[in-house]
């Protein structure tokens, strides 16, 4: 459905998805963060399917599985599966990149999926925010590449929020306040 209507509907769905991603910046609890991110991924998949952006679609679909797995591991305290989950999802992204290799854009978006998987898996807030900057920059490039202009602009806004989040994290540290 690469018609004009498909492109416009894709733009609207991508904008709605990015509102969910923006909402994630204000959520404090991990289960709600994972659930909100999953809803955003589902809406974004619908938008990307209309413009045949398959690498992004697969990256988000794998992300839904990853977030659901992390949610269950946290909910049922299956902490022994934490490392195994990371390995499984990283391998899934690697296999997907082999099958979806079409251009630099498809590889970069799958790399963003790998980086975000590591960001969610680890527990360091500054490292998470630093990785979020890289991931958002890769998504900006990919969305421009596939022709989703509103999505790329909204992802630039998320990139700005990521930078502000990282800077504010260090600005609010006790050693920074005592200067």
The token pair that represents 127 in the structure block: 């490292």
CB contact at 8 A, 21 and 37? yes
Which pLDDT score, from 0 to 100, does residue 179 have? 52
- In sign, the C-alpha dihedral spanning 14, 105, 57, 116 is negative
Region of poorest pLDDT, from 11-20, 43-52, 137-146, 165-174: 165-174
Mean pLDDT of the chain: 90
pLDDT digits (tens, 9 = 90+) for 81-132: 889 999 999 999 999 988 888 888 888 999 999 999 999 888 888 898 899 9
77 by DSSP, 3-state: which? coil
CB contact at 8 A, 114 and 81? no
């Amino acid at each position: 459905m690469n018609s004009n209507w498909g492109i416009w509907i894709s733009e609207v769905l991508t904008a709605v998805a990015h509102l969910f991603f923006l909402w994630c910046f204000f959520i404090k609890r991990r289960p709600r963060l994972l659930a909100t991110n999953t809803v955003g991924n589902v809406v974004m998949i619908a938008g990307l399917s209309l413009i045949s952006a398959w690498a992004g679609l697969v990256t988000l679909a794998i992300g839904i599985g990853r977030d659901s797995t992390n949610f269950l591991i946290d909910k049922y305290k299956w902490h022994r599966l934490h490392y195994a989950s990371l390995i499984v999802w990283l391998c899934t992204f690697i296999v997907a990149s082999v099958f979806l290799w079409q251009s630099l854009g498809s590889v970069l978006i799958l790399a963003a999926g790998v980086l975000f998987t590591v960001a969610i898996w680890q527990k360091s807030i500054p490292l998470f925010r630093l990785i979020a900057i890289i991931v958002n920059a890769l998504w900006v490039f990919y969305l421009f590449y596939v022709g989703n202009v509103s999505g790329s602009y909204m992802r630039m806004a998320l990139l700005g929020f990521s930078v502000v989040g990282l800077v504010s994290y260090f600005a609010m540290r006790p050693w920074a306040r005592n200067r």
